[in-house]
Amino acid sequence: MAFVFLLVPLWLCASNTPTVLTTSAGNAMVIVLFGAPGVGKGTQAQLLSRRFGIPHLSTGEVLRQAIREGSPLGSQVRHYVENGLLVPDELVTALVEQALASSQYQNGCILDGFPRTVAQAQALDELLHRQGRSVDIVINLVVAEEEIIRRLLLRGRPDDTEAVIRQRLHVYAEQTQPVLDYYASRNKLYTVDGNADIETVHQRIVQLVLQRVPA
């Protein structure tokens, strides 16, 4: 009897252990969560991070934190973030390169909000190549525009006023959407319908990621 009591917690423990995601080259996975502002990238990145035990890097969050702290980076980027414009590529790319080189991300990474331009996508490929890895899968979350605006107005972040949201959607269409072709032509792009509840969308993403993990 005591034996069973010992086994059950062990089994529960094992079943909660996140699947370690490795690529065919044996490296930890690099997952990109892609999509317009408000499609739920941040929420899904957090769930995916917990599900697979891989840390999540949100460039928007890093930039907002720098602004809150009033750091030199914060004062450099404040104008862009508050007006719904993209922070210059070199600045964001340097920030991501530095983060990815740290030990925290050696077991994989979920990128949210980066890359946002074709130049950033190219820079990401180059910097990962230098570290002997590459982007494994890009998940494009798609949600109807009226729903996006509704969600962002509910969220109420300082850059979530209607005028700034419209500007961010415009910037997305002009500068970020072309990144989809970049990854589609490299067979890395998968689209997920984000017009569903959080858990349903999460399960859709998990299925896609698991398909990319070599048996």
Q: Applying CB under 6 A, which residues contact ligand ADP?
A: 37-38, 41, 59-60, 63, 80-81, 84-87, 92, 113-114, 116, 120, 168
Query: Residue 85 or 208: which CB sits closer to ligand ADP?
Result: 85
Query: Residue 108 or 113: which CB sits closer to ligand ADP?
Result: 113
Query: Residue 188 or 213: which CB sits closer to ligand ADP?
Result: 188
Minimum CB separation of residue 126 from ligand ADP in Å reads 15
Q: State which amino acid sits at residue 164.
A: V
Minimum CB separation of residue 151 from ligand ADP in Å reads 9
Minimum CB separation of residue 120 from ligand ADP in Å reads 6
Query: Residue 80 or 94: which CB sits closer to ligand ADP?
Result: 80
Minimum CB separation of residue 195 from ligand ADP in Å reads 17
What's the per-residue H, E or C state across the chain?
CHHHHHHHHHHHHHHHCCCCCECCCCCECEEEEECCCCCCHHHHHHHHHHHHCCCEEEHHHHHHHHHHHCCHHHHHHHHHHHCCCCCCHHHHHHHHHHHHHCHHHCCCEEEECCCCCHHHHHHHHHHHHHCCCCCCEEEEEECCHHHHHHHHHHHCCCCCCHHHHHHHHHHHHHHHCHHHHHHHCCCCEEEEECCCCHHHHHHHHHHHHHHHCCC
Minimum CB separation of residue 175 from ligand ADP in Å reads 9
Query: Residue 21 or 171: which CB sits closer to ligand ADP?
Result: 171
How many Å apart are CA 6 and CA 9, to the nearest integer?
6
Query: Residue 41 or 202: which CB sits closer to ligand ADP?
Result: 41
Minimum CB separation of residue 74 from ligand ADP in Å reads 12
Shortest-Cβ-distance residue relative to ligand ADP: 60
Residues 76 and 91: beta-carbon distance below 8 Å:
yes
